[in-house]
Amino acid sequence: MNESRNLIRQNYNPMEKEVIRKGIHMTIAFIPSLALFSRSLTITLLLLGTVFYLISEIFRVNNKEFIGFVTSISEIASRERDKGITLGPVTLAVGSLLVLSLFTPVAAACGIYALAFGDGLSSVTGKLWGYKKIPFTQGKSYVGFFTCFTMILSTTYGVTGLLNKSLLAAVAGAITELIPIKDIDNLLIPIVVALAVVL
């Protein structure tokens, strides 16, 4: 089992792994549309998906397979820092659940899109072109910051049609993304952006 895991990890370079990880990350952009159809169904699916994923991860860290393709995807997408359970997908789901539960559909959509595209794309562009780093952010780049700001601004404006709110949300979300708190930003970014929209 460990040998097959090492082979899976070795078949992908760090940039490929980042693109796969953030591709998975951006699938939460479907959540607002699903929530318009049924908010309760969306929340139920997020909860069930999180439980399913945690069970799969418990099996994976104990060198067992729960469902093969899920284990393989987790191996490919996990970072070097993820020694145990990879918590990124959990915080991603919880962040979406929080804004769906606490905010209006419009504010929740803005928060989730900020997480999907602002946070998701900033990491990829930062790794590709982010040579100039921002001090005290543990490696965050100006390119990543600008990408995050631009994506939050454009998606929030696309949802609300309000430039002032969109600018406030973009500034608040991009600054939150700069804080070096690992996967906790998946919780904070949607809440901060949703709050900026409802203020």
- Going from N- to C-terminal start, the domains of the chain cover 2-198
First to last CA, the chain: 51
The predicted pLDDT at position 180 comes to 87
Its pTM stands at 0.88
Give me the tens of pLDDT residue by residue for the chain, a chain 199 residues long. Answer: 444 455 455 567 777 777 887 888 899 999 999 999 999 999 999 999 999 888 888 887 887 776 666 667 777 666 666 667 788 889 999 999 999 999 999 999 999 999 999 999 998 898 889 889 999 888 899 999 999 999 999 999 999 999 999 999 999 999 999 998 888 899 999 999 999 999 8
C-beta atoms surrounding 181 within 10 Å: 13
Measure the CA angle with vertex 180, ends 96 and 20; round to 5°: 55
Amino acid at 140: K
Task: Yes or no: say if 96 and 28 are a contact pair by the CB < 8 Å rule.
Answer: yes
Residue 70: is it exposed, middle or buried by C-beta count within 10 angstroms (0-12/13-18/19+)?
A: middle
φ/ψ region of 146 (left if φ > 0, alpha if ψ in -120 to 50, else beta) reads alpha
Tokens of 64: 């067992």
The predicted pLDDT at position 11 comes to 65
